[in-house]
Amino acid sequence: MSINEDTLGGYVAVHGRPPGFTGSDGHPYSVGVFSDDDPGPDGRFGAALLFIRWSSSNAPDGHLESDYLAFSSAAAAAEAEVGRLSLHDVKRILDALIASQHGSEPRWTM
């Protein structure tokens, strides 16, 4: 089976690092997937995207988190589902989160 490096998980698998994006605010961001440490009341784990904003001195300068984008009875399965997002969709989520910080657009969800 070939790896699709146009997806978030595929990019990480091929390049061994998270992808980077320039946000609509002009700042550089990297992205990763995170999940809950414990399941919710329904027994499922939620998984979402965490975007780290970087300063011009290459130090973390803030972050944005998406809403939960996937749920599963296993954290790894929820994370894998989010990892199947295309890089294009990840960038759209980032820009929607940036816009929501300025009150101009709702947050993007799957």
Question: Residue 2's pLDDT is what?
Answer: 77
- Nearest CA-CA partner of 62 in 51, 48, 46, 75: 51
Tokens of 38: 């414990």
pLDDT per residue of the chain (110 residues) written in tens, 0 to 9: 678 899 999 999 999 999 999 999 999 999 999 998 999 999 999 999 999 999 989 899 999 999 999 999 999 999 999 999 999 999 999 999 999 987 654 444 43
Contact 54, 29 (CB under 8 A): yes
Question: Residue 108's pLDDT is what?
Answer: 41
- The pair phi, psi for residue 80, each rounded to 5°, is -65, -40
